[in-house]
Amino acid sequence: MKITLTKQPKQKPDFSKLGFGKYFTDHMLVMDYKDGAWGEPEIVPFEPFEMSPASNVLHYAQGIFEGAKAYKNEKGEITVFRIDDNFIRMNNSATRLCMPTFDAKVVKDALFELLKIEKDWIPTAKGTALYIRPTMIANQPVLGVHASHVYKFFIILSPVGSYYANGLEPTKILVEEKYVRAAIGGTGEAKCMGNYACSLIGGEIANQKGYDQCLWLDAAEHKYVEEVGSMNMFFVIDGVVITPALVGSILPGITRNSCIQVLKKYGYKVEERRISMDEVYDAYKSGKLNESFGSGTAAVISPVGTIGYHGEDMLINNGEMGPITKFLYDKITGIQNRVEPDEFNWVTKVN
């Protein structure tokens, strides 16, 4: 693999004040597709791409991405969490967006080389990681609406802390009742750029009203809980953990799947099914809504303290992190940081 190292390494940020996605490492991985085939991956300095203003991703959003994380322990050992699942999902997203799939093994090996080069950028404090952002864009300068024949795949890396400014403090979420994120048959289950663009308005409305995020409902009836956009949703009702079933319009979250596997193994009752906001509200009114949390690579396990619905704020578990949320947070971050045994075979060593 061709590797070109930067002549101007950047000054690293203060790892105790990272936030999310604000800093980028010195190098990135790039791989180009043309004439019906992917070229070799290459490691190059992190710098702007040159692309035509007519490039089709800029007009028709034929673009997909992933989010994964790498960790480093005090011995300098680098690991990644469930990275194969990210590449499987990315290839599924590629197929949905009429983009070429790629050889996950080739990309994983190249990513591992990049991580070794960037090892000093991996923060080690609790709650921090090196965020991995694989991305694929259509890159043909043509305005006809059809699948591109030219693509660019790249991976950038960003040292991160918690996704939410207030860390693990329970978030406030507003149910969005007018706009929708995705309909069945659409692209909701693909990790494509357009899903995030169309969901911005819900976040803006929620922020204006003093909430952190919005909760999307299904497109057909505006009745069933879907997801938050940056997280999948879970509710604990009368001791049972319920998460919306993957009906086609919801992102099949890797952390969501990790939560389900951990909960089942540890004897919790888990239901993957459609759950309406009315059911959540009734459970709240009858004192049976014990906990709620979101899951995601960036968000990890984020407690939800308040859900705004029909002009009323439902305060969940007194606005505090509940015991099942805490159990999952500790177990999953414990496995990621290798302070808990890797009982599900989710961790891969890089060096």
Query: 31 or 132: whose CB is closer to ligand COI?
Result: 132
Q: Is the dihedral of CA 304, 310, 312, 317 positive or negative?
A: negative
Query: 66 or 118: whose CB is closer to ligand COI?
Result: 66
Among 123, 170, 296, 308, binds ligand COI (CB under 6 A): 296
* Contact call for residues 169 and 127 (beta carbons, < 8 A): no
CB atoms within 10 A of CB 199: 22
* Contact call for residues 172 and 212 (beta carbons, < 8 A): yes
Q: How far apart are CA 187 and CA 83, in angstroms?
A: 22
Query: 27 or 191: whose CB is closer to ligand COI?
Result: 191
* Using rule CB under 6 A, residue 298 touches ligand COI: yes
Q: Which of 188, 217, 201, 203 lies closest to 309 in space, CA to CA?
A: 217
* Using rule CB under 6 A, residue 67 touches ligand COI: yes
Query: 280 or 298: whose CB is closer to ligand COI?
Result: 298
* Using rule CB under 6 A, residue 308 touches ligand COI: no
Of the candidate spans 36-44, 234-242, 295-303, 311-319, the one that interacts with ligand COI by CB under 6 A turns out to be 295-303
Of the candidate spans 108-116, 174-182, 234-242, 292-300, the one that interacts with ligand COI by CB under 6 A turns out to be 292-300
Q: How far apart are CA 66 and CA 49, in angstroms?
A: 19
* Using rule CB under 6 A, residue 303 touches ligand COI: no
- The residue written with tokens 């070799």 in the block is 40
* Using rule CB under 6 A, residue 186 touches ligand COI: no
Among 91, 199, 230, 333, binds ligand COI (CB under 6 A): 230
Query: 134 or 170: whose CB is closer to ligand COI?
Result: 134
* Using rule CB under 6 A, residue 171 touches ligand COI: no
Query: 21 or 45: whose CB is closer to ligand COI?
Result: 21
* Using rule CB under 6 A, residue 134 touches ligand COI: no
What phi and psi, each to the nearest 5 degrees, are found at residue 111? -60, -40
**Exposure b/e, 253-283, CB count within 10 A at least 16 = b:** bbbbbbbbebbeeeebeeeeeebebebbbeb
Q: How far apart are CA 71 and CA 114, in angstroms?
A: 14
* Using rule CB under 6 A, residue 132 touches ligand COI: no
Binding site for ligand COI (CB under 6 A): 67, 196, 230, 296-299
